[in-house]
A and B are shown apart, each in its own frame.
Chain A
Amino acid sequence: MKKYILITASLILGVFLVSACSKSQSNEKKKVAVVISTLNNPWFVILAESAAENARKLGYEAKIFDSQNSPAVESDNFENLISSEFDAILFNPTDADGSVSNVLRAKAAGIPVFCMDREINNDDAATSQILSDNYSGCVEVGIEFVKALKEKGTYVEILGLVGDNNTWARSKGFHSVVDKFSNLKMVAQQSGDFDRNKAMEVLETIMQAYPNIDAVFCGNDAMALGAYQALQAAGKTKVKVFGFDGASEVIEKIKEGKIVATGMQYPKIMAKTAAQYADEYVKGKRDFPQRVPVEVELVNSANAKNY
């Protein structure tokens, strides 16, 4: 008899614990992971923090993962957040091709992925990709470049990460204009990995072979600032520098006439849209556009005061 009482009591306790547990789970906040290519660049810090902040505003618990520009670290991050059962991922990939498998793993685990700023080369893996219109932005930078150089001169292009689609979209947009002007000669094209110090070193090396360049086009503003630093150190103050991003330091330099132009991207808009989409997905929506371009605006000396 004592045995039956014990078994019955255990069963009641078990049922109570399970019900308490499930009640506590239903009260638990849903979780959004923000996976960012690198937090070693202020632009991506803004993107990450805006994404997390918007997710929190929508009632989610948000955690930021730094992939340190390494596909291997990114893969570990995905493994971690899949096993931790996150409800959505706001994702800034490290590599257009290399990151696809991570997104597919999340998809297989039933976790929607919303790419921010950087595109992956697959139109069926991510739920949606919210991307700067890098090509159009760099077409405008290219037109400004041609006009500023009066259609002639020699220049250097410093590319971003070679595995990132944004690098090539920017380069292609720029060259779609500049290559039509035969008196503009590119003497060197090298990667600066979107990194300020690397761009500075790259330009210092290039200038040993080509000391008389007229301009430098950089795939982002961090590299434009690195290039500007290298030019200052070499006393080459007349070389025209062009960037892309719309970093506040570069906007200031445009106002001072030290950098010619940049393309203004809107990381906060991309982050907010991605968080909103994730929230809509969690609430049941399934029909999202695969790619959503976000306008990029040209900033030059004529309009820098507005930014």
Chain B
Amino acid sequence: MKKIIISSVLAVVAIYNSIYIESLDELKQKKESNFDFAKYSQDLYQQILSKSQAVELSQLLSSFATKDHASVAKYGNRLGIGSSAYYLVKCQAKILEVQGDRLKVLASGNRPLEIDTKFIFGNAIRDASGLVKLTDFKTTAEFNKISESLNTIIREKAIPDEIKTVKVGDTIDLVGAVKLGEKQEDLLNLSVLPIKISKI
């Protein structure tokens, strides 16, 4: 009898140790590499600001309005196939209104703009920067994680700190990302994802 009990216990222990269950989400996370996305994105954020290859917003929009395709192509970045491209832009603007997480500003050339400080998501900023290539990463999932990390830095740290220092009537320097379609005709109601807002 004792023998049977010992054998059963050993069998249970053996079976217990031979199987383990984990959720699909955990498994997928484990399969991804140990790459330090946070550090990479912090460096990328600094590079975006220091390289300052942003085009003046007025210059970009004037190229768009005059259908200067060569200039538009030069300023924009598109990773694959599509009718839109992302642009890294800069301008000076006066704050007209603060509506929750949106700033309404008047940019140089009397151009009204909306700066969306809440919905800083997606690949717009990464792709507008032109500094990250799809071939730098083994999978699309890793490539997208760069955006998530970069957006988190901008949305949760940089921009909240910066907008604390500004109020209606202030003039700011804005660096941001904007998505424009090839055939986009409405250039008046633009929304810019901010990367840096500095009070002048």
Contact = CB atoms under 8 A, between A and B. Distances in A.
Interface string B63-100: 00000000000000001111110000000000000000
A294 B82 contact: yes
Interface string A140-176: 1011001000000000000000100100110011001
A290 B135 contact: yes
Contacts of A131: 140
Nearest to A272: B81
B149 to A, nearest CB: 10
Interface in B174-199: none
Given A162-B24, A168-B28, A177-B119, A295 B144 contact: no
Interface in B30-83: 79-83
Interface of A: 119, 121, 123, 130-131, 133, 135-136, 139-140, 142-143, 146, 162, 165, 168-169, 172-173, 176-177, 269, 273, 289-295
A293 B79 CA distance: 7
Interface in B119-137: 119, 121-123, 134-135
B75 to A, nearest CB: 18
B148 A169 contact: no
A172 B151 CA distance: 14
Contacts of A119: 139-140
Given A133-B79, A139-B123, A290-B134, 11 more contacts: A135-B140, A135-B144, A136-B123, A140-B122, A143-B121, A165-B141, A176-B144, A273-B81, A291-B140, A292-B80, A294-B82
B135 A294 contact: no
Contacts of B81: 130, 269, 273, 292-295
Which 4 pairs across A and B sit closest by C-beta, in order of nearness?
A: A295-B82, A293-B80, A139-B122, A135-B144
15 contacts: A119-B140, A123-B139, A133-B123, A135-B122, A135-B141, A139-B122, A140-B122, A165-B141, A168-B141, A173-B144, A176-B151, A289-B134, A289-B135, A290-B135, A294-B80
B157 interface: no
A295 B80 contact: yes
B121 A177 contact: yes
Contacts of B119: 143, 146, 177
Contacts of A291: 80, 134, 140
A135 B79 CA distance: 14
B138 interface: yes
A34 B33 CA distance: 33
Contacts of A136: 122-123
Contacts of A173: 122, 144
Contacts of B151: 176
Contacts of B84: 295
Interface centre among A121, A139, A289, A294 (most CB of B within 10 A): A139
Contacts of B138: 123
A121 B83 contact: no
Contacts of A140: 122
A244 to B, nearest CB: 15
A176 B148 contact: yes
Contacts of B140: 119, 131, 135, 165, 169, 291, 293
A173 B143 CA distance: 12
Contacts of A146: 119
B23 to A, nearest CB: 11
A139 B121 contact: yes
Contacts of B135: 289-290
A292 B24 CA distance: 27
A240 to B, nearest CB: 18
A139 B148 CA distance: 11
Contacts of A293: 79-82, 134, 140
Contacts of B144: 135, 169, 172-173, 176
